[in-house]
Amino acid sequence: MNLPNRLTMIRIYMTLAIIVILLFPFYLVNLEFPMWTWKIKEVMEIDSRYIISGILFILASFTDFLDGYIARKRNIVTDFGKFLDAIADKVLVNSVLIILAVQGVISPIIPVAIIFRDTIVDSIRMMASTKGTVIAAGKAGKIKTIFMMVGIALTFFYNLPFEIFNINVASILLTLATVLSIYSGVEYYFSNKKLLKENTNN
């Protein structure tokens, strides 16, 4: 368990903390998270659970960059580390998207599209790995990840400061991330169509 893998595990623990904060019925144990009010053009109620979760999400997202950077710099990239990192990323993003959709904060189309795409892409990667082929993430997939992370963070922070100007940047970024996710999924499929046919024939 090297340093990058420890950071990846910390990301998983942070994800579990976010899930508990957003879903656990704290009122059953006589605990309450404060609600704040902020008047911009009209009174806005801010749930402190989202702010705390947003901070944890940003920290968790930073560990995603940090673990990969350290692993490459120290030349300690391992198959286990890649596997663990992929799981941590999916658990973090998909869990948050599902919870936000269930709570009516974002459209349920977003997590459905993202998870559907990820399932197809991961299946293609698994098939490729059986042939000894490693499929790197495409440019669209990388841009999608940036849009998704920033969009989720802004959603947790009630789209501030852009909400002051009535520009829903959080929603725009999440929509763009979803479109890019679908596009990159289609791109993965057509780029590896030959590989899929070979596996089907076998």
Question: pTM for the complete prediction?
Answer: 0.90
Is the per-residue pLDDT at 98 higher than 90? yes
Task: Tell me the residue type at 150.
Answer: V
Average pLDDT of 105-113? 96
Q: What is the pLDDT of residues 124-183, one digit of tens each?
A: 877 776 666 556 566 788 899 999 999 999 999 999 999 988 999 999 999 999 999 999
Q: Residue 17 and residue 103: Cα distance in Å, rounded?
A: 17
Task: Look at residues 71, 72, 93 and name the one whose alpha carbon lies nearest to residue 11.
Answer: 93
Sketch out the chain's domains with CATH numbers. Answer: 1-104 (1.20.120.1760), 106-202 (no CATH)
Q: Say which DSSP state 105 is in.
A: S
Is the per-residue pLDDT at 202 higher than 60? no
Is the per-residue pLDDT at 115 higher than 80? yes
Positive or negative: CA dihedral 183, 185, 190, 191: positive
Q: Say which DSSP state 119 is in.
A: H
> Is the previous residue joined to 161 through a cis bond, with omega within 30 degrees of 0?
yes
Is the per-residue pLDDT at 200 higher than 70? no
Average pLDDT of 171-197? 87
Q: What is the mean pLDDT of the chain?
A: 88
CA distances from 104 to 17, 33, 101, 118 (A): 20, 19, 5, 22
- Of residues 168 and 191, the one with the higher pLDDT is 168
Rg (CA), the chain: 19
The pLDDT > 70 percentage for the chain reads: 90
Strands 35-39 and 43-47: antiparallel
Q: Residue 154 and residue 176: Cα distance in Å, rounded?
A: 14
Q: What is the pLDDT of residues 36-80, one digit of tens each?
A: 877 766 778 899 999 999 999 999 999 988 988 898 898 888 878
Q: Residue 184 and residue 118: Cα distance in Å, rounded?
A: 10
Q: What is the pLDDT of residues 4-43, one digit of tens each?
A: 899 999 999 999 999 999 999 988 888 888 888 777 667 7
- Helix H segments across 103-158? 109-130, 139-156
